Amino acid sequence: MMRSKKDNIAEYILYLWQMEDYLRAFPQQADTTAELHELNDMMHREGIMEGGHLALAQNALAELIDLHTTLLDEDAMYRAAIIRLQPSLNLLKAKTDRPTMSDIEASLILLYQIILLRLQKKAISPETASVQQQATQVLQFLSRIYRDIDISK
């Protein structure tokens, strides 16, 4: 069952990424549910069967980044949380082909990679677990704020 963007936008993005990977790995499963069929059709229309993300996920990410930018200017506690997370995110971004990606996208990628490691039953280091906790807290806070406001206006 598809996650609700309004209920938890960060989980919604992670869910879409997971479904994209699932449909790429198991295209024969696209017709098992109406939801998978619809997502598969969107992926074909958008030409992302080999890689990339659905416009749904990209738009949600853009909304979350906009909220993040606003909160950096308006909320000192949020800004402090991001500053604490920054060194770890910078290390992660440096290991990608897009070192200038947003902190929010880097946080989501970090959480998604941890999800994949856990699915493979691989351990994560205590340092990674600590960064995961910090990133989760930031994304939970953003998701709560997003839920409480209508940023589409």
Over residues 49-68, the pLDDT tens digits come to 999 999 999 999 999 999 99
**Positions of the chain with pLDDT under 50:** 151-153
153 within domain boundaries: no
Domain residues for the domain of 25 are 9-148
Q: Is residue 4 part of a domain?
A: no
Task: Decide if 2 is inside a domain.
Answer: no
Its pTM stands at: 0.92
> What was the pLDDT predicted at 39?
95
* SS3 per residue for 83-143: HHHHHHHHHHHHCCCCCCCCHHHHHHHHHHHHHHHHHCCCCCCHHHHHHHHHHHHHHHHHH
Please check whether residue 14 lies inside any domain of the structure: yes
3 assigned to some structural domain: no
How many structural domains does the chain have?
A: 1
In a domain, 133, yes or no: yes
